[in-house]
């Protein structure tokens, strides 16, 4: 594994964490919305 591979792997890992966080926030917002207005 060379330096570039490591860099790409890091980027992918960061993107995955951000995607998971975005998904989590969306779920929380949706749940709160239905809880308040449902």
3-state secondary structure labels for all residues of the chain: CCHHHHHHHHHHHHHHHHHHHHHHHHHHHHHHHHHHHC
Q: What is the pLDDT of residues 2-38, one digit of tens each?
A: 899 999 999 999 999 999 999 999 999 999 999 999 8
Residue tagged 């709160």 (tokens): 32
- Alpha carbon dihedral 29, 33, 36, 38, in 10-degree steps, equals -140
pLDDT at residue 24, rounded to an integer? 97
Phi and psi of 9, rounded to 5°? Answer: -60, -40
pTM: predicted TM-score of the whole model, two decimal places: 0.62
pLDDT at residue 7, rounded to an integer? 96
Please state the domain extents for the chain.
Answer: 1-38
Does residue 1 carry a pLDDT above 70?
Answer: no
């Amino acid at each position: 594994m060379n330096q570039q591979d490591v860099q790409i792997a890091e980027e992918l890992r960061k993107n995955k964490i951000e995607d998971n966080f975005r998904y989590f926030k969306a779920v929380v917002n949706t749940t709160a919305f239905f809880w308040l207005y449902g």
